[in-house]
Structure 1
Amino acid sequence: MKKNTIVYWTTTGLFSVMMLFSASMYFTSPEVQANFVKMGFHDAFRIELGWAKILGALTLLIPVLNRSVKEWAYAGFGITLISASILHAADGDPAFNVIAPLIFFGILVVSYLFWKKRLQPAVS
């Protein structure tokens, strides 16, 4: 297997599993629900964001989807992760809560860059 393919699928798989886990917590964890309320969000936003994470993760994992759809999924996740980090910092949450979204943003960027590399034609 080519290096680009291995790096792409490793980062994409890791990222997608994390987003699916996060989405499941949005639906099942009373603590997550309480945090959304504490930050001033309506409960419908938690549910909407949970479904968006599920759909976005599946979009990244399904190879045959349109490139534009994948671009939007990458952009949506990027905005979500940067916003989460800023919100946790503004709310005075522990450093882990501020840094964790940025770590996953880094994994997302690596996935995106290697996805783009895989799309380029091979140079002989």
Structure 2
Amino acid sequence: MKKNKIIFWTATILIFLFEGVMPALTSQTEMAKEGIRHLGYPEYFGVALTVFKVLGAIILIIPKAPKRLKEWAYAGFGFDFIFASISHLAVDGFGMEAVFPWIVFAVLVVSYLYYHKIYDSETI
């Protein structure tokens, strides 16, 4: 059980850092805004995406957050990573920008699977 918790918290903290902390600190930089424009999205989309990423990351990191809310956060991040990859493939073609979201998606899947390994066996 201890190994499962270590794997879960490692993966979840990585998601929290990538999807909560980094967007919160960098979303208003010119580089981030240009990245959103480069993909063809309006600037307000970047703001909304940042708000939802930060909220989702907070939900994942809070142990006592409602399970249903956590499921929505996991689903939202999954869609985010899939569509980020599709956007980069459509605009930039195949490259690291299109592959990286799948790497983070794999970390998300580890977090999700170990969340259920830990918390389905005990009551919160």
- TM exceeds 0.5? yes
Q: 1:110 to 1:31 in 2, by over 3 A?
A: same
Contact 1:86 1:98 in 2 (8 A): yes
Residue of structure 2 in register with 1:105 after alignment: 105
Residue of structure 1 in register with 2:7 after alignment: 7
Q: CA deviation at 1:96?
A: 1.4
User: CA deviation digits over 1:36-90, x for unaligned, max 9?
Assistant: 1222211111000011111011000000010000000000000000100111011
Residue of structure 2 in register with 1:48 after alignment: 48
Contact 1:24 1:50 in 2 (8 A): no
Residue of structure 1 in register with 2:22 after alignment: 21
> d(CA) in 2 for partners of 1:98 and 1:92?
8
Unaligned runs of 5+ in 2: none
Q: Which residue type is aligned with residue 14 of structure 1?
A: L
Q: Which residue type is aligned with residue 98 of structure 2?
A: V
Alignment identity in percent? 37
Q: Which residue type is aligned with residue 16 of structure 1?
A: F
> d(CA) in 2 for partners of 1:4 and 1:31?
37
Contact 1:85 1:102 in 2 (8 A): yes
Q: CA deviation at 1:35?
A: 2.0
TM-score, scaled relative to structure 1: 0.91
Q: Size of the alignment, in residue pairs?
A: 121
Residue of structure 1 in register with 2:57 after alignment: 57
Q: Which residue type is aligned with residue 111 of structure 2?
A: S
Unaligned runs of 5+ in 1: none
Contact 2:23 2:54 in 1 (8 A): no
Q: CA deviation at 1:15?
A: 1.2
TM-score, scaled relative to structure 2: 0.91
Residue of structure 2 in register with 1:35 after alignment: 35
SS, match of residue 31 in structure 1: helix
Q: 1:117 to 1:105 in 2, by over 3 A?
A: same
Q: 1:83 to 1:30 in 2, by over 3 A?
A: same
Report runs of 4+ in structure 1 exceeding 3 Å deviation. none
Q: CA deviation at 1:120?
A: 2.5
